[in-house]
Amino acid sequence: MSMSLRLLWAVLRRDLRLAARRRVEALLPLGFFVVAAGLFPFGVGPEPQTLRQIGPGIVWVCALLSAMLSVTQMFNGDWQDGSLEQMLMSPRGLLSVVLGKVLAHWLSAGLSLVVASPLLGLLFGMSAQSIAMLCLSLLLGTPILSLLGAVGSALTLGLRSGAALVFLLVLPLTIPALIFGIGAVGAVEAGLPQQAQAHLSLLGALLIMTCLSAPLATVAALRISLD
């Protein structure tokens, strides 16, 4: 195993252990996701057709907001104890650190949203095919949220109003993922499987593009924030 992979694995294990110790903070995005999405049927009303139509959009928007709740702390702890500055001394190692932290954030926050989405799909009266597509779209979309959130977290590192700035910076960038994810589920609900596959393919292409560009942008943002 190369040094970069060993460093990535070490950062991943470390952040997952820290998340396990801070269970309340780790479960906050999941709690917000379930509660926020679960309140909509009470406000909109019990009409099944209406709930099925708005369900995918509500679940995706709540997943996006939930991911942003925890992404602001991705680098903050390491910045406060000074370890982030030590990581900057290794030009190759910093990219592995960023990838490890993004993966840890997705495993601790994003993956739980995917697991909980079938419950919300049932709450909105969605069909089994639509729920399956909802899970698949979130499985492709939530890593995009973590990757883009890492860029915003790095740019606002150390700022007093960093959390608010992350929302303002990242939310516009997530609109394409939101559109493709909701569109895939809506196409299945409308009985258009080919259109759903097209939305899913675009979402996958967006994930690949984000994986290639966001970590490098995060490394550059960290260097700018710590200069």
- Using a 10 angstrom Cβ sphere, with 0-12 exposed, 13-18 middle and 19 or more buried, the burial of residue 139 is middle
CA end-to-end span of the chain, whole Å? 32
- CA 162 – CA 109 distance, rounded (Å): 19
Extract the tokens encoding 81: 């104890």
**Identity of the amino acid at 149:** G
Cβ atoms 128, 177 nearer than 8 A:
no
The rounded Cα 76 to chain-centroid distance in angstroms is 17
- What is the predicted pLDDT for the residue at 137? 94
What is the pLDDT of the chain when averaged over all its residues?
A: 85
- Residue ranges of the chain with per-residue pLDDT less than 70: 1-2, 81-82, 87-92, 161-162, 227
Q: Is 150 helix (H, G, I), strand (E, B) or coil?
A: helix
- What is the predicted pLDDT for the residue at 139? 94
Show me where the domains of the chain are located.
Answer: 3-226
Report the predicted TM-score, pTM, of the whole model to 2 decimal places.
Answer: 0.88
The rounded Cα 86 to chain-centroid distance in angstroms is 27
Q: What is residue 22's DSSP assignment?
A: S
Residue partners of 195: CB distance under 8 A and separation at least 6: 183, 187
- What is the predicted pLDDT for the residue at 74? 81
- CA 60 – CA 56 distance, rounded (Å): 6
Q: Is 74 helix (H, G, I), strand (E, B) or coil?
A: coil
- What is the predicted pLDDT for the residue at 91? 55
- What is the predicted pLDDT for the residue at 71? 83
- What is the predicted pLDDT for the residue at 162? 65
